[in-house]
Amino acid sequence: MRLPRQALLDGLRAFSVAARQLSFKAAADALFVTPSAISHRIRDLERHLGQRVFVRKTRAVELTDAGRELLEEVEPLLAGLDAALDHAADRARRRRLRVAAPTFLATDLLIPSLRSFYGMQPRIDLELLTAPQLAEHGAHADISIVIAPGPPPAQIATRLFSPRFVAATARPVAMVARELGNRVFEKHRRIVYRHRAELWTRWFATTGFPGARSATVLNVDTLPAAIGAAEQGLGITLVPTFVCERRLRRGRLVRISDAEVESGDAYFLVHRHEDRARPEVRAFLSWALTELRR
């Protein structure tokens, strides 16, 4: 007699539990069926195998030699099946969210803040996509943090904050800068992030520092490079205050002036209209507006 797959699985499960308990009644209680159902399943299994796996006694059962061998072979297989089913159920309960962000914003602001997101949303798996510059929301992401002069069109965009820049450098250079006052740039170089070079013009206009009499200039093509050079004491650069808040608070960077200048653009949280109802999108938006908005 050959059993259908489901009946065979039911029989093996009943056999495994009964073999560990050496009791059909205990197996019935564990599997939420009647002792009669356990007895029928094991009898069908024995017919399928063509041999007995239990010796029935008045108040108990014992494994036959064939039953002991079967138990050794079946237990790991049933454990693997249970694990596979648990993993499948867990995957079904989890949600995946792809978030795109400028590299520097991701490393200095977003990632250090994610602990609180995972604390509230442990079943959302994030995939963080970064690029040096991100001015639009692409098809590869569910949510993007973009920097632009205004809200990107044809999508749902929520303003997070407008970057404000301050002149900062390593602590030893900052101490000298305080002594030199507005003559600091005669002695120390400016580190210029070339995509934001105009910010230096605004900063000089705001502070009254003489920008013409400047020592050498170090031009770099990324903001992380400019900030890294400043931290190494190679000169003074303009850094976004909110994004670099941890560096400024811990003294890795020190302001040489309280003056701040705006960049003229803003960071926006952007997603597509059709994604608005997704629970994982709503969860991230709610968190980001609390943690990242200024």
* CA 158 – CA 237 distance, rounded (Å): 29
Give the mean model confidence (pLDDT) for residues 258-275: 93
Residues 169 and 250 in one domain: yes
Give the mean model confidence (pLDDT) for residues 172-189: 88
Number of domains in the chain: 3
pLDDT tens digits, 27-74: 888 888 888 998 999 999 889 989 999 998 877 889 999 989 999 998
Residues 139 and 216 in one domain: no
Residues 26 and 85 in one domain: yes
Position 168 pLDDT exceeds 80: yes
Cβ–Cβ under 8 Å, residues 238 and 212 = no
* Beta carbons within 10 angstroms of residue 241's beta carbon: 16
* CA 51 – CA 32 distance, rounded (Å): 26
Residues 169 and 258 in one domain: yes
Question: Confidence class of residue 88 from pLDDT cuts 50, 70 and 90?
Answer: low
Position 216 pLDDT exceeds 60: yes
Assign residue 177 the CATH number of its domain: 3.40.190.10
Residues 249 and 138 in one domain: no
Would you state the pLDDT for residue 218? 94
What are the DSSP calls for the chain, one per residue? ----HHHHHHHHHHHHHHHHHT-HHHHHHHHTS-HHHHHHHHHHHHHHHTS-SEEE-SS-EEE-HHHHHHHHHHHHHHHHHHHHHHHHHHHHH-EEEEEEEEHHHIIIIIHHHHHHHHHH-TTEEEEEEEES---S--TT-SEEEEEESSPPTTSEEEEEE--EEEEEE-HHHHHHHHHHGGGHHHHS-EEEEGGGTHHHHHHHHHH----SS---EEEESSHHHHHHHHHTTS-BEEEETTTTHHHHHTTSSEES-S--EE-S-EEEEEE-GGGTT-HHHHHHHHHHHHHT--
Q: List the structure tokens of 281.
A: 């999108």
Question: Confidence class of residue 93 from pLDDT cuts 50, 70 and 90?
Answer: low
Residues 254 and 283 in one domain: no
Task: Choose the final residue of a domain: 61, 92, 123.
Answer: 92
Vertex 66: Cα angle to 6 and 30 (nearest 5): 50
Task: Choose the final residue of a domain: 92, 111, 136.
Answer: 92
Q: What is the pTM of this model?
A: 0.67
Residues 60 and 203 in one domain: no
pLDDT tens digits, 108-166: 999 999 999 999 988 899 999 998 888 888 888 999 999 999 998 889 999 999 999 99
Q: What residues make up the domain containing 194?
A: 164-262
Position 226 pLDDT exceeds 90: yes
